[in-house]
Chains A and B, each alone.
Chain A
C-alpha cells in the first residue's frame, strides 16, 4: 500500500511527463503557471490515494448488480437450496478487496 507521499512522487513524475498542460481563460489558451502545476500534482496524488483507499466501494457497487437481480438470486436459492446470492456477494468482495 503506497503512502500519500509515495503517490505524490509518482504524481509529480506523471505531471512532468505530461507537460505542457494548458488552461483556457478569457478564450486564451495558456500554459499552466507553477502554481497550477503544483495543484495538478496535488490533485493527481489525491486522486490516486482515493482510488487506492476507496475505489473498492464504487467497484463493489457496480459489481453487486441491482437489488432486483439479487432478490431473484435469493428466490432461486430458496427454491433450489443453492447459495447463488451468497457466492456472488463473496466473489465481489474477494475481487474488490478493502485495503488493509
Chain B
C-alpha cells in the first residue's frame, strides 16, 4: 500500500558520537509496529553494536534484556548466540564490527508492543556486516525487554563505554495500519 511506511525520525552521524537516539521527543505513538533501518554503521574501535529501549525518553539499563540469534558466517559453520538478563541488547549478536574499509553494519529491525504498557517490548533483527576479523556475517533473531511498560524510543551504541559510532544513518519508520 502506497504511503504505508512513514518516516518518524532520522539521525545521520557525520561526527563521532558514543550513542544515537531515535524517538524520544520525536516518538509518534500512533503505530502498532515500527521499523528501524541502520546503514553504513561503523565504530572507531572493534566492538559489538548494542541497543536499549527508552521509557519516558530515558534509556533503560536494568538487567532485563534477553536475546536469541543465529549467526551465519562466511568462514565457518553457523553459531547460536543467546543471553538473558543483560543490561543491554546486542544487535550484532555480541560479535565485533570492524573498523577497516568496508567493515560496516547494516540492519533492519521491527519494534513491537512499544506503546503497550502491559506487555514486554520485542525487537526482531536481521543484519549483515563485516566483522573485525574481516569475515562477512549475517545474523537473524531478536531480543525482548522483559519489563511490561511503554517505550518511546531506542538508543544505539557500541558496547564497552568508550567506543564511538563514526558514521551511519539511523532511520525510524511507523508502519501505517
| A residues lining the B interface (CB < 8 Å) | 11, 14-15, 18, 21-27, 29, 32, 36, 39-47, 58, 61-62, 65-68
Contacts and interface: CB of A to CB of B under 8 A. Distances in A.
B159 A61 contact: no
B159 A43 contact: yes
Most buried by A among B15, B21, B25, B76: B76
**Interface of chain A: mostly helix, strand, loop or mixed:** helix
B5 interface: no
B87 interface: yes
Interface residues on B, range: 20 to 34
Contact of B162 (A21, A25, A42, A66): A21
Most buried by A among B12, B13, B88, B161: B161
Contacts of A41: 161
Contacts of B21: 23-26
Given A26-B24, A26-B26, A58-B94, A43 B160 contact: yes
Contacts of A65: 76
B25 A43 contact: no
A18 B162 contact: yes
Most buried by B among A42, A43, A65: A43
Contacts, number: 72
B161 A15 contact: yes
B61 A21 contact: no
Interface string B26-51: 10000000000000000000000000
Contacts of B133: 62
Nearest to A58: B94
A68 to B, nearest CB: 7
Contacts of B175: none
B18 A21 contact: yes
B11 A23 contact: no
Most buried by A among B24, B61, B79: B61
B72 interface: no
